[in-house]
């Protein structure tokens, strides 16, 4: 089992827990919690595979993802009161997962001979669309649309991977650089409460107010 696959499984576990916690707060039953944990953990990769016509879809080809999600749900039910307060720990796992899923998405896009820009977008889809689907199903505004730099961190990580691969750097450096860029951007964005600008006023609005 290589390092990237191990990180992928750990990221899947962390994302599944975050989905299970959200569903639990919404008072979903067991089936609902499993579904939300599932879409949070593998929804992004599934959407990516459908978009690029990759078959079999990731979790169908490897049932370890299913067992990991089910284990995460059981873990959440047994230790919910201990997990929920560990926001910093879960944030770190979520951020590592974001970097790993970005890396895997870009790699898969390039394997399917997509344009490098599209491959980077596929990395972002892999990393963030599971969370978007979770928020939609739980009737929340998706996190990436309202606060924090999340999707942009994924895009930056994807661009880093392309740059490193263009210069034929060793694989371990490509992987490490991609994941570290995502982690550093997320940490800085959260620490300093950085966010993308919102569209509030335009030139005409300001003139009318004057």
**pLDDT score of 81:** 84
Q: Is residue 45 predicted with pLDDT exceeding 70? A: yes
Percent of the chain with pLDDT over 90: 63
What Cα–Cα distance (Å) separates residue 158 from each residue in 77, 118, 148, 166, 181?
A: 35, 10, 18, 12, 9
pLDDT tens sequence across 173-203: 999 999 999 999 999 998 888 888 877 766 6
Q: Where are the alpha helices (DSSP H) in the chain?
A: 3-25, 30-51, 58-61, 64-83, 87-111, 116-137, 151-166, 171-191, 203-209
On the question of pLDDT at 169 being above 90, the answer is yes
Whole-angstrom Cα distance, residue 127 to residue 12? Answer: 11
Alpha-carbon distance of 53 to 11, in angstroms, equals 23
Whose tokens are 């009161």? That residue is 81
As a whole number of angstroms, the distance between CA 29 and CA 85 comes to 22
Instruction: For residues 41 and 48, give the distance between their C-alpha atoms in angstroms, rounded to a whole number.
Output: 13
Q: What is the pTM of this model?
A: 0.88
- Which band of pLDDT confidence, cut at 50, 70 and 90, is reported for residue 7? confident
pLDDT per position as a tens digit, 116-168: 999 999 999 999 999 999 999 999 988 778 766 889 999 999 999 999 999 99
Tell me the pLDDT of the chain averaged across its residues.
89
Cα of 201 vs its chain's centroid, Å: 31
């Amino acid at each position: 089992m290589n390092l990237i696959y191990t990180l992928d499984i750990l990221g899947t576990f962390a994302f599944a827990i975050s989905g299970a916690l959200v569903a639990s707060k919404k008072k979903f039953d067991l089936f609902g919690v499993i579904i939300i944990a599932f879409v949070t953990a593998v929804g992004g990769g599934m959407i990516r595979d459908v978009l690029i016509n990759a078959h079999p879809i990731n979790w169908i080809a490897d049932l370890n993802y299913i067992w990991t999600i089910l284990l995460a749900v059981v873990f959440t039910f047994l230790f919910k009161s201990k997990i929920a307060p560990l926001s910093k720990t879960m944030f770190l796992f979520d951020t590592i997962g974001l970097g790993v899923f970005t890396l895997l998405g870009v790699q898969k896009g390039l394997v399917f001979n997509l344009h490098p820009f599209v491959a980077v977008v596929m990395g972002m889809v892999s990393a963030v669309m599971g969370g978007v689907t979770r928020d939609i199903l739980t009737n929340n505004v998706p996190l990436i649309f309202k606060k924090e730099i999340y999707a942009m961190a994924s895009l930056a990580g994807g661009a880093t991977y392309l740059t490193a691969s263009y210069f034929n750097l060793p694989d371990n450096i490509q992987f490490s650089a991609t994941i570290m860029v995502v982690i550093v951007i997320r940490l800085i964005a959260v620490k300093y409460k950085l966010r993308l600008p919102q569209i509030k006023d335009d030139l005409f609005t300001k003139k009318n107010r004057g």
